[in-house]
């Protein structure tokens, strides 16, 4: 693992600053500070500074596999889909050293069906968004992750996978996205979510090209 990778060993309380990179479009949501606080379970700590972006680390896929094994052990057949998403899932792409995982269950709004099992495995519920695809976000017991939970068939999962697969295969858009991230990351942000929201226009542009190529 590279010297500047702080992905491992971060607990949910240490990492704070959960963020969601939404795909844009009609379902996109940009929250006010009050709304950000409302959707968070527990304290949502401000960043008040730049965002850490590091060079791609070839250990990131292995960190995802470790989480996937733990999640599957906790949920068993309740796992409908489990994928590595976000920038750490794209070889060669610089990223925040935080592993994004997307999990599909039968019904993400039915928390008793899966939340207690994840909590027993050490995961901590940090975001509850009933008005945005019934999205839930968990932090992990050790590795710094964002575990996104949606219901089976949710269109946001399709967007996440389309974005990932397009960046994996399209060097020009991968470079565009990295340039955008590095430029924005140097600015001071009150919350990491503000940084994620600032990338929305570029994310929409890239997704539009990916959809047009299908």
CB neighbours of 86 closer than 8 A, spacing ≥ 6? 21, 95, 98, 99, 100, 146, 160, 164
DSSP letter for each residue of 111-134? GGGTHHHHHHTT-EEEEEETTTTT
Has this prediction a pTM greater than 0.85? yes
Q: What span, in angstroms and rounded, lies between the C-alpha atoms of 135 and 151?
A: 8
Could you tell me which of 210, 212, 213, 101 has the C-alpha nearest to residue 166? 210
Tens of pLDDT, residues 72-98: 999 999 999 999 999 999 999 999 999
Tens of pLDDT, residues 32-69: 999 999 999 998 899 999 999 999 999 999 999 999 99
Tens of pLDDT, residues 98-118: 999 999 999 999 999 999 999
Would you state the pLDDT for residue 17? 59
Would you state the pLDDT for residue 42? 93
Q: Are 1 and 8 in contact (CB under 8 A)?
A: yes
CATH number of 12-19+30-212: 3.30.460.10
Domain edges within the chain: 12-19+30-212
């Amino acid at each position: 693992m590279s010297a500047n990778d702080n992905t491992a060993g971060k607990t949910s309380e240490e990492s704070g600053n959960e963020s969601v990179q939404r795909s844009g479009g009609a379902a996109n949501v940009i929250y006010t500070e009050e709304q950000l606080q409302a959707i968070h379970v527990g304290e949502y700590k401000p960043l008040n500074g730049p965002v850490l972006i590091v060079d791609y680390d070839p250990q990131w896929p292995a960190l995802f596999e470790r989480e996937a094994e733990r999640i599957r052990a906790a949920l068993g057949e309740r796992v409908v889909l489990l994928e590595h998403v976000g920038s750490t899932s794209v070889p060669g792409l610089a990223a925040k050293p935080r592993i994004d995982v997307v999990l599909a269950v039968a019904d993400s709004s039915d928390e008793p069906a899966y939340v207690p099992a994840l909590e027993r495995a050490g995961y901590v519920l940090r975001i509850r968004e009933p008005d945005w695809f019934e999205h839930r976000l968990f932090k992990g017991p050790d590795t710094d992750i964002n575990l996104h939970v949606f219901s089976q068939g949710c269109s946001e999962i399709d967007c996440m996978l389309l974005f990932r697969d397009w960046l994996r295969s399209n060097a020009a858009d991968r470079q565009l996205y990295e340039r955008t991230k590095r430029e924005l990351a140097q600015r001071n942000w009150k919350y990491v979510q503000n940084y994620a929201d600032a990338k929305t226009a570029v994310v929409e542009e890239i997704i539009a090209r990916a959809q047009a190529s299908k």
